[in-house]
Structure 1
Amino acid sequence: MILLDKSSCDLLRYLIQLETPETIMTISRSTEQSRRKIYYHLDKINDALPDDVSPIVSKPRVGILLNHQQKEACQTLLAEVASDSYIMSIDERIQLMIVYIAISSERVTIEKLMDLTDVSRNTVLNDLNDIRYRLAQEQYKVNLYATKSQGYFLQCHPLNKIQYVHSFLYDLFNEASPGFLNILREKLMVTLADEGLLSDQAQDFLLAEVSKRENDLGKKINRSEISLMLRILPYLLLSYQTMELSLEEVEDMQQKFAPVHQRIEYQVAQKISQSIQGQLAVELDEIGTCLIAILLLSYRKERDSHLTSQDFQDMAMIIDWFMASFEQTAQVRLVQKEELARRLLTHTKALLFRKNYGILSKNPLTKHIKQKYHSLFVEVKKAALILEEEWQISLNDDDLAYLTIHFGGYLEKEMDTLESSHLQQVYIICDEGVSIQKLLLRQCQKYLPPNSIQATFTTEQFKSVEDLLVADLLISTSDALETQFPLVQVQPILSYDDVVKLSHFLRHYELMTCRPHFEKRLEQLLGPHVTSPGIITQLSQEICSLFDEELLHLSHQGVTSEHTPV
């Protein structure tokens, strides 16, 4: 059975509604698809039509108009596409094929790819050519080859394959839709007959296992990062297990991974490997165990209790030099330097392992950081030359944005110009990590009364103490938080709209706090001129409401986009 993708179904719906013939050129313009794509989807539709229905063709100088039989068949075809089914786009189909080729231990043939993607042979061949082109654009020197004995496979140095697969999966799990990710996992589980590493049970087990081992590590991995790491790990292990390594390649990999053996993460990875074998019946060799250790080393940490070990004294000195250089070049003063130094050391330890083993870590806030804090970003970039020279690494914009976030939370706070306010009990709720929490705190302090922010929580922490709190305002980066308290939802990097929302709330809160006193004064002023007490109260309330509306309107107009929270 040939399954139609989203674009084919869109064309089918377009053709069904035509009342007069349209040429391929007209259809192309109306659907914003090239003529080549229109012909491609027409071929797919014709392949899917019953044998007793004449194919849909474009008549010269006339175009396409479905007859009654064709229209009924097309409507039946669309009806057969279940309302809850997921129709993959071309990009998604290619992504599915890449993952399958990367992790399949069996011979990958065109027929298997046809079954996997539910498309024709010609479509699979076109997709394979597209994959070759995409691989040629990558930095990892990975090539798609095919032989009679092996079928289709990725040819490259083993470490390059690990780096490419991690990079590919990192982007996939960050950007793909949940619907496609479910389809990808289900199709791979069926095709590979895998109920182990790819199952929901495996994910739950791995999360519980790594969380349990964090005490052994003496470190706390960022929650969003650990979730992403554990989604990638099963595919990474499967991709390694498909490699047929020569003795020389095994020795080369073991030599490259030798430094990992000295780290506590390797000991924890050994325990996790043993648990995987016992729970999931998947046996990992030395290199597979090292892959787990490398991920544990490379992903960002919230806390690290091993910063004072002798191994990292040189790194600590370079961090101090880096901070001093930043203060000097940026002409600013940092506060709580010891705490900042600890956080930078925790961050750069993982950074160095990522650089050494080519483990990608993208920063979703890089664009906002560069736009919102351009001058700060530039100053961090200048000072970071010290890190690049001393550690022989190259820092990209994502790396620099992370460092900028760290510094942004420890800049000396400017004198607050806000007038006093009754707003005193404000709490920030942010699950984006300690560094983002710190930076968000600095931004909010710019727009809220002095000392009004009482604490910063994660969602989990807040829920554990919510019953004990009295809050005037909650500021949350999550749109899923449910609470009885007043709530303003913002981005981790405050946008113009976020500042408007905070300003509106502050004005509204001040008005509500002062309103009883204001109404009383109005009633006193109106008393000599109005005899009826009921009318005095009504007029007082109406004047207050009008005043509220005008002030809120003015506060909206008064907020400009030229705010600089740090």
Structure 2
Amino acid sequence: MTLDARSKYILNRFVETNGYLAVRTITNSLNISRRTFYYDLKKINQFLQENGLQEIQRQKKRGYYLRQEDKHKIPSLVQLMNHTQYFFDKQDRHMMMAVQLLSSEKALFLEDMQKMTQVSKGTVSNDLKALKKALTKFLLEVKFDRKSGFSITGSETNKRSALVYYVTQLVTTNKRENILEKVNTAVVPHLLKLPYFSEQRLYHIKNVIVSNEEMLGVELTDDTIEYLAFQFMILMQRIRDGHRVLVERFEKEALQQTKEFSAARAIINQLSKLENDPLPEDEVYFVTMNLLGSKVNHSDFEVHKTEEMKSLKAAIHHMVLDFQKYACVVFQNKEKLETTLFLHLKPAYYRLKYNVDITDEWSSIIQQKYPEIYQLTSRVVFHLEAILDKKIPEQELAYIAIHFGGWLKKEGKKPAPRRRALIVCQNGIGTSNMLRMQLEELLSTIDIAGCISLRQYYQMKIDVEVIFSTTPIKTGSVPVILVEPIMNEKEKELLLKQYNFLFGRNSSAKSKISVESIIDIVQHHAQILDKKELVRELSCHLQAETTDTLKERDKPMLNELLTEEMIQLVDEVEGWEKAIKLASRPLLDRNFIEQAYIDSMIDDIKTLGPYVVIAPRIAIPHSRPENGVNKVGISLLKSSESISFSDQEKHQANLIFVLAAIDNETHLKALSQLTNLLGEEENINRLIETSNKQEILELVDYYSQE
């Protein structure tokens, strides 16, 4: 038999690939379905059998592969695809189009890109749509003009970052084979004129980098050297074409303090000799960023500086709001404080971004002299940590605390006294986290020292001022407030009264208004048309923060986890073990969890009892992340008939939420929103009574708000 062009292309991929190929890799590159791939694979295997060769093999969880000894025999049996026949797969085409658009001094039309990639106009059009979306991560935009065609707009720094990314990806594929020369000559020499993109130039630049390794103080890997060489090759191409970068003064000051700066200056001097032309001074700083990026991550300097500063200002705004909330103060000139903090944090931002250490002479002094202010500052810097994606070191935190402390002194204010608290909960870490979030929202100046079990409580020495417990415990000198794992409005109001009685009305409690009291007043003066909906909207409104909070990185909302495919509605289930297995199935089927995680949840309940039933009709089974969680997720099983977790009536549940947490942080936002949802009896009734997934999703969406 003979193979068609697509089958030849697929066989060619197996011949060229060292190792395994995933089905997705082939289907994505050819834009075909899995069914089509298996159809072609059947033809290829028949061809191989007829020629006395072994079929393409499959190894579970790794992919398909071709035996090495068979690869050498195939070229003599069939003429494989050359670069004019399926040579460029979808990924290659995207990379080539990106390089072409970013490098060309003129706008280009679809026909130009069609000649380059040698595919149909429709395919190029689809590729261009995908490329537009991909370029947004570099803050670049593809523009179209009827007269001139397509072009890319954005900052020079971002264009260089994108070029580095796409050129590196293009030339480090398995079928490199001097693709630089192919791009420059064989494909469309009249379009892509990139004389700097050559193996010879790459070789010289690599030598420059290697000669400065000692100054950098590290031995770079071959991949890193090649990556840097492409960065510098693109840098010289862009300068030659008249494109320059501008680096801010604050960023320069931070970069000058790094050891990479000296190496960058030496590299620029050598590259200038290579070019027989001096390179602009700001390029020293750009090379420094590249050197730092090779050690950290190139995405650190892809973000546009203006966007960075907008993010920094937003972080500062929310830091000040949170500081006011936790300190129970209101700054008279909040805007001026934010401006002052911005001027301080701008250079600090670049120090942190580029890992520039400062001497730690103040941190310990400030912690000792102003412990409350330091502690308050440590609670609000997570907004800054979110945009930097790194922990704020103590010395930088101390300098921020100085600014807050100075402003408090300037306005003659003192932070409200803080109280250390402890949570005693025998329902596990998931329930403890839910309770902790409710308490921290309700009482702004308590510091939760930890969440412990009942057994730990009786074994350890307690050093706190108040204890919140989900179960009655023997009290000593420390007052104990009994709480529910999920509190409704009345229970929250009762908690506040108890706390105020213990510590005075001017305590750390945030002012909360009872929904019931508002409803009573409204009923005296107006007719309520939909009491259930009014209760729900008022509850959501009163529980919401008065200002938007900065979105925490990588913390999904409830509606991002509890989606339609994660919800199951049944009439009844025979036994709690089967219920947990059934409730976990959506997570297991999508590889969010392993079977071991389900077994662990069941074993925990058998060992510890029905602790997962955290409130009447609600169970939240969970186990530790290391017991088989691959991805954060939540699933829901709703049973019309109650499921008994013990002989006691209080351990019956209709709603089983399986929680899969990958750590102690990522799931907290979604868990907080679920807590708010389940805090209303009306919502629980709606969930149990409904037979419509859409109604559940609408309720989930309603509580999935920033």
Compute the TM-score of the two structures, normalised by the length of structure 2: 0.30
Higher relative contact order (CA 8 A, sep 6+): 1
Compute the TM-score of the two structures, normalised by the length of structure 1: 0.36
